[in-house]
A and B are shown apart, each in its own frame.
Chain A
Amino acid sequence: GRPWSNPEAQEDPAHLSKSRLRSDLVSHNVELPPAGSKKEVYLKLHLEHVDQGNAAGFSSDEDDQVLYAPGGDRVDTKIPDPTALSDKDLKDLLLKYGVKAGPIVASTRAVYEKKLRKLLQSDGNEGLNEAETAVLYSDSDEEGEENGDLEDEKESEEEKERINEALELNQKQCNEHLQEPVKNILKDLIPEAKTTPTGIYVTPRRPIKGAAQRPILYGYPDTPVSPTTLERRDVERRLVPIYVQILVFFIVLYILYFISINV
């Protein structure tokens, strides 16, 4: 029979809202009738253009899912067009994304379509099988969080590696940078002292601490460095360089002098 003689059919165009018919027409690139047109006009256009493909199937109730594939199949497709979904499918799909949709009626449909589109878009950027897991677990909120945690872990690991690399590079550069001036300072302080070939154990801070003999004491060339030494060196590297200390000292001296002559 004719489609509108079948009130039971879920996808019966006669039971769709006017705006729904209109959005269907738009999604099928059908030219819309003038704004004030009655629902019948939309319905006719809908039947002519949108339902052409499966017009024959409308005699049976079971075929009403032909035009709109069931939710499960929809999820597997790359990005389903929310406007092409039935109200029920739209609701199911939203539920799979953890959104408990209210009644989908003419005035709310557009809002939910937009919401779904947003969800689909944000989902497309994340994992590929999010949709699959969403099918298996209706509570996709937790799933998303878990995924997020995993990604976070991955990211933090990557970051650690990056930091380590950066540290190593920094260390090398600092070693190269420190060797020469340190040697010079040492030579100035203790001219007869033997300088180590590597210069590794000589740091700018030792002479200041008054342990003038230490560099020589610990000056075994090519000794493998213990982890604690490495750590200590790392810490020392972050301390203020000696020339900055001297500079600050002179600045303070100058300020004190300035104050003293002004009082």
Chain B
Amino acid sequence: MSTTSQKHRDFVAEPMGDKPVTALSGIGETLGKKLEDQGFDKASVVLGQFLLLKKDTEMFTDWLKDASGANSRQAGSCAQCLKEWCDAFL
């Protein structure tokens, strides 16, 4: 397993509250914009999608790739960070 980024650790460290999508690890400006266009303006909305897919990282990764055009690394990073957040706070 690769080491986690600072962004990942920041996100997993505390409740997400009203953080924007770009707070998610793997989601930068460009991907964040694409997600916002589709209504996923907050990290919690993306979390909602993650939960709808029953926390299945594989399916979530597929979805994120389709929805935002993220690559496998970005989508995987985002899924990982949401999963760890769920493990900590759900």
Contacts and interface: CB of A to CB of B under 8 A. Distances in A.
Partners in one complex: yes
Interface in A108-125: 108, 110-112, 114-115
11 contacts: A100-B54, A102-B52, A107-B49, A108-B53, A108-B63, A110-B66, A111-B53, A111-B59, A111-B63, A111-B66, A114-B62
Interface residues of B, number: 9
Contacts of B59: 111-112, 115
The secondary-structure label for the interface of chain B is helix
B64 to A, nearest CB: 10
Given A100-B54, A102-B54, A108 B62 contact: no
Interface in B10-35: none
B66 A108 contact: no
Interface of B: 49, 52-54, 56, 59, 62-63, 66
Contacts of B66: 110-111, 114
A100 B49 CA distance: 16
A100 B66 CA distance: 21
Contact of A107 (B52, B54, B56): B52
The 9 closest A-B pairs by CB, nearest first: A102-B54, A111-B63, A108-B52, A102-B52, A111-B59, A107-B49, A102-B53, A103-B52, A111-B62
Contacts of A102: 52-54, 56
Interface residues of A, number: 11
Interface of A: 100, 102-103, 105, 107-108, 110-112, 114-115
A108 B64 CA distance: 11
A112 B52 CA distance: 11
Contact of B52 (A100, A105, A114, A115): A105
A112 B49 CA distance: 13
A107 B66 CA distance: 11
Contacts of A100: 54
Nearest to A112: B59
A103 to B, nearest CB: 6
A259 B70 CA distance: 63
